[in-house]
């Protein structure tokens, strides 16, 4: 069965622009989580969606937002990009998002902000 896919894999933007990243979870998975990975801060939780509702949110500014569609696909948006937003953005899916469920990660989208 197909794994978690993320598009695009690489992206270059300039400061002040906005960006939208896409994540397609494993078929049947209803929970999608987003993470930011940087060399300095490591892997940090952004938010989690379940059945089109944001269920949990990490400590990120409001410039970071997301949504989930009825087919469980999810998008993440970052507005007014800053240099510090350069990172690997990872998406993970699981059946229900309960903490005993295994999470399956995608390969990530590498965002570079110039």
Partner 1 sequence: DAKTTQPNSMESNEEEPVHLPCNHSTISGTDYIHWYRQLPSQGPEYVIHGLTSNVNNRMASLAIAEDRKSSTLILHRATLRDAAVYYCILGSTSGTYKYIFGTGTRLKVLA
Q: Does 4 bind partner 1 (CB under 8 A)?
A: yes
Q: Does 90 bind partner 1 (CB under 8 A)?
A: yes
Nearer to partner 1, 75 or 104 (CB): 104
Record the tokens describing residue 108, joined without a space. Answer: 């990530």
Q: Does 64 bind partner 1 (CB under 8 A)?
A: no
User: What gap in Å lies between CA 67 and CA 15, rounded to an integer?
Assistant: 23
Q: Going along 25-114, which residue ranges are E strands? A: 31-38, 42-50, 53-57, 64-68, 74-78, 87-94, 104-105, 109-113
Q: Does 68 bind partner 1 (CB under 8 A)?
A: no
Q: Does 40 bind partner 1 (CB under 8 A)?
A: no
Residue entry with tokens 């110039």? 114
Enumerate binding residues for partner 1 (CB under 8 A).
Answer: 4, 33, 35, 42-45, 48, 55-58, 90, 92, 97-100, 102-108
């Amino acid at each position: 069965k197909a794994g978690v896919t993320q598009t695009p894999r690489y992206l270059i933007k300039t400061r002040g622009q906005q960006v939208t990243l896409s994540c397609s979870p494993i078929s049947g998975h209803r929970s999608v989580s987003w993470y930011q990975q940087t060399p300095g801060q490591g892997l940090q939780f952004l938010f989690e969606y379940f059945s089109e509702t944001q269920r949990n949110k990490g400590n990120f500014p409001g410039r970071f937002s997301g949504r989930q569609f009825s087919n469980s696909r999810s998008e993440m948006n970052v507005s007014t990009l800053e240099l510090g937003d350069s990172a690997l953005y990872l998406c993970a899916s699981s059946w229900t998002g309960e903490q005993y469920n295994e999470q399956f990660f995608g390969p990530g989208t590498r965002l570079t902000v110039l």
